[in-house]
Amino acid sequence: MSDYRDLEESILNGEDEKVQALVKEYIDQRIDPMQLMTEGLITPMSIVGSKMKSGDMFIPEVLASAQAMRRGLELIKPLIVGEESSIYIGKVVLGTVEGDLHNIGKNIVSLMLESVGFNVIDVGEDINANKFIEIVKQENPDILGLSALLTTTMPCMKEVIEKLKDSGLREKIKVMVGGAPVTQEFANSIGADGYASEAGSAAEKAKQLLGK
């Protein structure tokens, strides 16, 4: 159990309103929003993951937990973005790859990128390689960020990089990959420019990729 036991329990029970009430209380107590997000909201989701794996939680319950977590996150977001966001660093197109509907981690990465000064175009989930190429052509971002939570959807990241090469766009853009099953080794093997294991380091890595 984390220090935020009440919050953890409410997330595990999928209690939206209770999660929001507790997050408001912690905010009123001036708890560091980053710590609240990491320990109070993200940690309980890994417990949900373990319970899902062991068959102690089923999809509807996992969805309820994810929804409750998101409701808490909505309240913390303005406290995390805001401060540094007057600085403009660059543009990122960010999405979850084809066949993958997981978006919580991607949304947190988006939040952290915005908090350090990136303009983030979040293109959503289940995006196929051709669609990514189309969006890159339209948006002309500095960085393309790809998220995958399923081992079965990771190959789409490679496909996107191959298609960027085929379209002559690869040299114009940095590609960053991440998500629970993704590793630095995998990122190297597909020729990505950057990898980050969590949202805070994703923002740092993105800055680094642009030499900032």
Residue 3 or residue 58: which is nearer to ligand B1M going by CB?
58
Q: How many CA atoms lie within 13 A of 17 on its CB side?
A: 0
Check if the beta carbon of residue 153 is closer than 8 Å to that of residue 101: no
Lay out the site mask for ligand B1M across 63-82 (x = CB under 6 A, - = otherwise): x--x----------------
Among 31, 150, 169, 173, binds ligand B1M (CB under 6 A): 150
Q: For the beta carbon of residue 17, count every other beta carbon within 10 angstroms.
A: 10
Q: Give the number of other CB atoms < 10 A from CB of residue 56.
A: 10
Q: How far is the CB of 29 from ligand B1M (least distance, A)?
A: 23
Q: Which helix (H) or strand (E) holds 96?
A: strand 90-97
Return all residues near 60 (Cβ < 8 A) that are at least 6 apart.
Answer: none
104 binds ligand B1M (CB under 6 A): yes
What are the tokens at 132?
A: 């990514």
Q: Counting contacts by CB under 6 A, is residue 109 touching ligand B1M?
A: yes
Among 18, 71, 77, 102, binds ligand B1M (CB under 6 A): 102
* Residue 110 touches ligand B1M, criterion: CB under 6 A: no
Q: Which is nearer to ligand B1M, 140 or 152 (CB)?
A: 152
Applying CB under 6 A, among 48, 123, 161, 203 the residue interacting with ligand B1M is 48
Neighbouring CB atoms inside 10 A of 30's CB total: 7
Task: Using the structure block, give the residue that is written with the tokens 């948006």.
Answer: 139
Size of the site for ligand B1M (CB under 6 A): 38
45 forms part of the interface with ligand B1M (CB under 6 A):
yes
Q: Which of 169, 144, 143, 164 is nearest to 90 (CA)?
A: 143
Q: What is the nearest approach in angstroms of ligand B1M to the Cβ of residue 183?
A: 11
Closest CA to 26 of 77, 72, 78, 74: 72
Show the binding pattern over residues 172-201: x = contacts ligand B1M (CB under 6 A), - = does not: ----xxxxxx--------------x-xx--
Footprint on this chain of ligand B1M (rule: CB under 6 A):
42, 45-46, 48-49, 52-53, 59, 62-63, 66, 99-106, 108-109, 145-147, 149-152, 176-181, 196, 198-199, 202
